[in-house]
Chain A
Amino acid sequence: MAKPVVIVVGADKGGVGKTTVSRTLLDYFSANNVPTRAFDTESPRGTLRRFHPDITEIVDMTTAADQMKIFDTLNAVSPSVTVIDVRAGLLSPALASLRDIGFLDAAKSGQITFAVFHILGPSIASLDEIAETAGFMQGAKYFLVKNFINNTSFFEWDQATYNSYFHRIKDATELTIPKLNEMAYEQVEVASVPFLKFVANKRFNDEAANYSFVLRGYVRHWLVNVWSEFDRIKLTDLVGTGKSDSGGE
């Protein structure tokens, strides 16, 4: 039986593109035929569920009942990959809860593959959260995600500041999510379909749509670049499928 995989996507600030990254992960796994389920902690109305309703459940991670729903079912045969989109501001508390229920120990002992995608904002305050999160990361894969949703630079122009945050944590891997054209992003929001379906010019029920060819092209180009990052960090190896190339355009 495949080892269960849990991927937590979180941020300590809102508006940094956390759920966008979760959506690209779900599309990536879908394109690579990796059975996946997702939990959206933006209770009661989840953004992630709007785009991936078939595989996403809304939960409240502060309640024991919902914690059981997620973690007591990890050893189910399929899907073996669980993506948890943690509400903004609750990444550290969520990781503390996982520590308290013994989940982090199980990850450290190799019973579970555990990864955290920490979505960073461009402020120093956001970067300060790296050290706090890093404390939970023994035995886990820690990905620092720079999401370029505007023309920010994450202090790359100031090497001292940059190094003090991004090179402080051993074994943390950086990922870069490039900027997506704003109008293209908005159109996908309005369509309420996964990025993959938008690119394929399909509505949610697979009916043919009439999305702009220009905007679909921009989304396709952006998604390819995002998935290249996932290929680079060998995400499919992490989840045990072993294929490093994604489904392509």
Chain B
Amino acid sequence: MPTTPIFITCSPRPLVGRTLVARLLSEFLLLKNGTVAAFDINLKEPSLLDYLPRITETAEIDNTYGKMALMDRIIVNDGIAKVIDLGFHAFDEFFKMSEEIGFLKEAARRGVSPVILFVADSDRVSMRGHAMLKQQIPATARVIINNEYVLRGEIPAAFAGDRMLRIGALPVFLKTYIDRETFSFTSYLRNEKDQSTELSQWIRSNYVSFRELELSLILQGS
């Protein structure tokens, strides 16, 4: 039986492009599968709920009830891919909880495949967060997001060896354009007549990367 993926975009640092990745991935999955369930665990930062209100629910893990409401919901093999935009404030608590309750083991038992998309930064906090993840999450469930707008082509050695997914840097004016809350990547691809524009190519390149990631998950599971 096919597994249901859960993509968790995360970073212990704010403003690294985590929500951007979550948006891109959610829209890709919505386009490909027709449905996706997104969860927004954020405080104050621009968040997924602002961009994709129709497919996003807010979640919190500050208390046990919030943890139950989120985790009991996502640990279900219902065929609907899940995307969690995990705010930087919740990074430590989420993975501490995950280890304590045996999230990965239970996920495997129930046919659910968590994939941690760690948005890398050159900061020490980011390195420490990554080191913690390496201890807890197997390499097959970890992907480093190389957001070139943040890392500027210089990937710290600590991240070498991990599976990597590159998000190319956009010029500032295009970044401002896509940061608008009303902007949709898929709608842009559908409506833009000239598919050779830089933004069209950027969106399609990212969608292809996600497709490859999905295929690798399928191959892993088989």
Contact = CB atoms under 8 A, between A and B. Distances in A.
Most buried by B among A184, A214, A218, A249: A214
B29 to A, nearest CB: 23
A249 B106 CA distance: 12
B77 to A, nearest CB: 13
Contact of B100 (A183, A212, A218): A218
Contacts of A157: none
Contacts, number: 37
A184 B64 contact: yes
Interface string A168-189: 0000000000000111100000
Contacts of A53: none
B65 A183 contact: yes
A249 B65 CA distance: 24
Interface string B81-114: 0000000000000000100111100100000000
Nearest to B76: A213
Nearest to B71: A214
B199 interface: no
Contacts of A249: 102
A165 B74 CA distance: 48
Given A213-B72, A213-B101, A218-B100, A181 B106 contact: no
B158 interface: no
B67 interface: yes
Contacts of A182: 64
B68 interface: yes
A104 interface: no
Interface residues of A, number: 14
Given A181-B64, A183-B65, A214 B102 contact: no
B143 interface: no
A243 interface: no
A218 B102 CA distance: 9
B38 interface: no
A140 interface: no
Contacts of A6: none
B6 interface: no
A249 B99 CA distance: 13
Contacts of A217: 100-103, 106
Given A184-B64, A213-B72, 14 more contacts: A183-B65, A183-B68, A213-B106, A214-B67, A214-B97, A215-B68, A217-B102, A217-B106, A218-B100, A218-B101, A220-B101, A221-B101, A221-B102, A249-B102
Interface of B: 64-65, 67-68, 71-72, 75, 97, 100-103, 106
User: Lowest 3 CB-CB distances: which A-B pairs, in order?
Assistant: A217-B101, A183-B64, A221-B100
Interface of A: 181-184, 212-218, 220-221, 249
